[in-house]
Amino acid sequence: MNESFLQACRGERASHTPVWMMRQAGRYLPEYQKVRGTIPFLELCKRPELCVEVTLQPLKRFDMDAAILFSDILIPIEAMGAELSFHEGKGPLIANPCRDAEAVGRLKVAEPANDMPFVQETIRLLRRELDVPLIGFAGAPFTCATYLIEGGSSKFFHETKKMMFGQPGLFHRLMDKISETVIRSLRAQAEAGAQALQLFDTWAGVLAPCDFEVFALPYVQRIFRKLRDLNVPLIYFANNGATLIDLSAQSGAHVLGLDWRMDIGDAARRIGRLAVQGNLDPLALFLPPDELKERIGRLLNGARDACGHIFNLGHGIHQQTPPEQVRLAVEFVHELSAR
Ligand code: CP3
């Protein structure tokens, strides 16, 4: 078993800097497109043997140091009662957005064993195949709430902020239900064999720090507090989170994921004992190889004093990324960080 990822999460020195990439299984891989050609995305997420195949696709091509479960942050949201669908080019849509007390009341706290057993089954199957650690994940409550309230992706988060500012009590009730679902989902994933857990807070960066502190962070803290006993590394990724970094350091995570807008060395100095994960601009994968290598070298150097560094992108891989560039990036990380 290649332990470099788990060692870096714990702040231990590994033989090289471990690397994995957000959205490493996905549409930039022709073999993923081939599977997707036969089945809609949401159905794919519910078929363990296909989720296993797709999770393993990047690991067959590249020397990644961790695998991430193939699923979606909206799976538990659907299990709560959201009428979820995905449309080509439009992203996720929820037909019954949750905008009033009745709608919040109707949502249920999901029960993983009954409502999403395919996730745990995928994890059990994957653990038999993998020789690198498997990362489980969920959406952070605020990010999940935006999808539930807006009914899909959003630009200005008008409905979310309307509820947050206008009916804070209702917003907190919604966050309570989501958080309980996330706790149960992540616990079930760890019990099925996930060896690290990441919370994706894709939209945290649209909040002012004062609102993040009141409406989002306490729920992240609750989730990590309730999962501490699992003894697996807990990773918090707040996208566009430079202005939230000092607060994020109080989340209870062992590892902070960083987007590319932040200098990794500055971030590492500010967060002290926590490990860092990140943070190459995903578009840097389009650079000529020598410039890509130079940039990866600078990033590794910037993170040299961090209490553990896991190399990653600052957000998910773009669909047009040439797989060959991903292979080169992984090789450069390993070569330049070998100790
Ligand atoms: O490889 C991995 O990283 C693991 C799998 C994974 C997916 N989604 C697969 C996926 C993970 C960890 C996610 C998380 C996720 N899902 C997030 C948080 C991370 C982030 O990117 O900020 C969010 C916000 C979602 C919600 C979601 N799911 C969106 C906005 C979309 C894109 C819709 C579109 O049409 O572009 C998805 C779909 C999705 N999730 C795809 C994949 C591979 C593409 C689906 C397809 O095949 O068409």
pLDDT (tens digit per residue) in 251-278: 999 999 999 999 999 999 999 899 999 9
- CA distances in angstroms from 105 to 70, 108, 148, 223, listed in the order given: 30, 8, 13, 21
Cβ burial, residue 305 (10 Å; 0-12/13-18/19+)? exposed
Q: In the numeric block, which tokens belong to residue 113?
A: 């064993």
CA of 72 to the centre of ligand 1 (A): 6
Under the banding of pLDDT at 50, 70 and 90, the label for residue 90 is: confident
Query: Does position 168 have pLDDT exceeding 90, yes or no?
Result: yes
Percent of the chain with pLDDT over 70: 100
User: For all residues of the chain together, what is the average pLDDT?
Assistant: 98
Question: Is the CB of 318 inside a 6 Å radius of any atom of ligand 1?
Answer: no
What was the pLDDT predicted at 325?
A: 98
Query: Catalytic residue at 147?
Result: yes
- Per the annotation, the verdict on 266 as an active-site residue is no
Q: Judge whether 27 counts as a catalytic residue.
A: yes
Position 79 scores a pLDDT of 98
Q: What integer pLDDT is reported at residue 88 of this predicted model?
A: 85
The 10 Å Cβ neighbour count of residue 235 is: 25
CATH of domain 4-337: 3.20.20.210
The pLDDT tens digits for 265-322 are 999 999 989 999 999 999 999 999 999 999 999 999 999 999 999 999 999 999 999 9
Would you call 36 a catalytic residue per the annotation? Answer: yes
88 C-alpha to ligand 1 centroid (Å): 13
The pLDDT-based confidence of 61 (bands split at 50, 70, 90) is very high
- Can you give the pLDDT at residue 259? 98
The lowest-confidence range among 84-93, 139-148, 158-167 is 84-93
**CA–CA gap between residue 220 and residue 154 (Å, rounded):** 22
Asked whether 146 lines ligand 1 (CB < 6 A), one says no
| Mean pLDDT to the nearest integer, 36-62 | 98
Residue in 10, 27, 124, 270 annotated catalytic = 27
Decide if pLDDT at 98 tops 90: yes
- pTM, two decimal places: 0.98
Question: Which pLDDT belongs to residue 89?
Answer: 83
Query: Each residue of 99-146: pLDDT tens digit?
Result: 999 999 999 999 999 999 999 999 999 999 999 999 999 999 999 999
Rounded Cα gap, residues 152 and 174, in angstroms: 16
Please give the distance, rounded to the nearest whole angstrom, from the Cα atom of residue 336 to the centre of ligand 1: 30
| Ligand 1 atom, smallest distance to 153 CA | 30
Nearest CA to ligand 1 atom 34: 91
- Our answer to whether residue 23 is catalytic in this structure is yes
The confidence score (pLDDT) of residue 143 equals 98
**Interval 141-169 mean pLDDT:** 98
Rounded Cα gap, residues 161 and 300, in angstroms = 38
